[in-house]
Structure 1
Amino acid sequence: MSAVLWPIAARIATALNTVNGTSDHERAMRLLKVSEEAGEASAAYIGMTGQNPRKGTTHTAADVADELCDVIIAAAVALHDYTPAAPAVLEAKLHAAARRLNALAHTADHRKDPAA
């Protein structure tokens, strides 16, 4: 994970807290921001693949990547509203995903060679 993600996400969260407050509504708005950014990533993908015949190809893979970065940033900022240990919570989640991946790979190996 980027060494700058968490310090900058914390700064953004602190700035938003200062400007907008920390009400339940504000927390919900930050959570909705993640969905908004995900929608923009989806729209960029649609534009990259030219799936809208009226518009044609309007985006590139770089545009999709840029929008996905916005999703990650928005999620990191929102995560600060739900835990005081945002980096540790994500790290634990990543380790859990890695364990599931390892278990899946182990299962796949056994399917290929039941004697393994």
Structure 2
Amino acid sequence: MDAQQWETVRRLAAWLADGSTQPAEMQRVLQCLKVSEEAGEVAEAVIGVLGQNPRKGFSHTWDDVAGELCDVMITAMVALVRVHPDPAAAFDAHLAQVAARALPAPGADSAAH
């Protein structure tokens, strides 16, 4: 993510904070819980793509799933802004740790893994 995208996320977090009657600590907690709510909407959309809700049938598309996944990402990013003073650095460091753990080093023989 670039700096402008993180600035947009910060603006979203500020907009949400301005509209809240909760203290900052509760806003952080609720934002973290909101990630689970959004993930549930991903699950609902996947079930709709597969037509596995007998009441609704085939109610969603994979584009709907993609939109819901984007909502999860945005919601998690807002939460990260609320819980960490440098969310971009925290994300970059964590992504690097996950990549180091999961991916072969650049130029490494992938057959060795």
CA–CA distance in 2 between the matches of 1:74 and 1:2? 17
Q: CA RMSD in A?
A: 2.2
CA–CA distance in 2 between the matches of 1:53 and 1:99? 43
Shift of 1:51: 1.1
TM-score normalised to structure 2 length:
0.84
Aligned sequence identity (%): 43
Shift of 1:41: 0.8
Shift of 1:110: 3.2
CA–CA distance in 2 between the matches of 1:88 and 1:31? 19
Amino acid at match of 1:25: M
Shift of 1:28: 1.2
The residue that corresponds to 1:54 in the other structure is: 55
User: Structure 1 residues 90 and 18 mapped into 2: Cα distance closer, same or farther (>3 Å)?
Assistant: same
User: Structure 1 residues 36 and 103 mapped into 2: Cα distance closer, same or farther (>3 Å)?
Assistant: same
Instruction: Report the structure number with the largest CA radius of gyration.
Output: 1
Moved segments of 4+, more than 3 Å: none
> Per-residue CA shift, 1:53-112, capped at 9, x if unaligned?
2321100000000000000000000111111100110011111111112259x7x7336x
User: Structure 1 residues 66 and 4 mapped into 2: Cα distance closer, same or farther (>3 Å)?
Assistant: farther
1:42-81 matches, within 5 Å, as: 42-81=43-82
The residue that corresponds to 2:26 in the other structure is: 25
- Say how many residue pairs are matched: 110
Q: Which structure 2 segments of 5+ residues have no match?
A: none
Shift of 1:16: 2.2
CA–CA distance in 1 between the matches of 2:9 and 2:36? 17
